[in-house]
Amino acid sequence: MEDEGLSSFSHLAPRQTMIWLLRRQGLSQAEIGRRLGVQRQVVYEQLKTIEGKVRRALMDAAQANRLDIRRVDAVNGILEAYSHAYDVPVIVSFSKINGVQVWFLYEGRCDSCGQSQECLRLLKAEAEERGVELTEEDLQLKPTELGRRIFSIVTSR
């Protein structure tokens, strides 16, 4: 199951990425082991390493952006934080498709930002990887509104 996403995901080795994604899908350690042809104990050890790497990547991004960390979910690759500088909640996400991204959940100036289409592309990929169904109405939202929508679903699971 080697593809561009797995090989370019720099924080985790390809097999670690596969294990992490299978875990995020809700598979047990035993099931992951069966799928990969390894013992459950190997999966257990790898998950400890993987969760440490994911946690570190999330924490590093939060610290680099001077965020007040509220909750870290290394299993799902989500860190919830608060930006005192902007007085807004923030999500730091870790995904196979997008790597580490920082999402300031405020009413942005998307209409005047040259990055609006890129943000939409990243958010759609984030939703797809996390199994968040987007409606046609959702797809008409500005990136800041779409981000709030997606991450409210992800963090409530």
Q: Tell me: the pLDDT tens digits for 9-46?
A: 578 999 999 999 999 988 999 999 999 999 999 999 99
Q: How many CA atoms lie within 13 A of 17 on its CB side?
A: 21
Burial class (CB in 10 A: 0-12, 13-18, 19+), 136: exposed
Asked if pLDDT for residue 115 goes beyond 70, the answer is yes
Q: What pLDDT, on a 0 to 100 scale, did the predictor assign at position 147?
A: 93
Domain segments of the chain: what residues? 4-156
Rg (CA), the chain: 16
The whole-angstrom separation of Cα 78 and Cα 132 is 14
Vertex 26: Cα angle to 30 and 130 (nearest 5): 145
pTM: 0.86
Among 75-79, 101-105, 113-117, the least confident range: 113-117
Nearest to 14 by CA among 44, 41, 46: 46
Helix and strand numbers (H, E) in the chain are 6, 4
Contacts of 25 (CB under 8 A, 6+ apart): none
Asked if pLDDT for residue 88 goes beyond 90, the answer is yes
Asked whether 45 and 11 are in contact (CB, 8 A), the reply is no
Q: What pLDDT, on a 0 to 100 scale, did the predictor assign at position 157?
A: 79
Mean pLDDT of all residues belonging to the chain:
90
> How many residues does this entry show for the chain?
157
Asked if pLDDT for residue 3 goes beyond 70, the answer is no
Consecutive H or E run containing 145? helix 143-156
Q: What pLDDT, on a 0 to 100 scale, did the predictor assign at position 72?
A: 97
Confidence at 106, pLDDT banded by 50, 70, 90: confident
SS3 131: coil
Asked if pLDDT for residue 6 goes beyond 80, the answer is no
Q: What is the mean pLDDT of residues 129-149?
A: 94
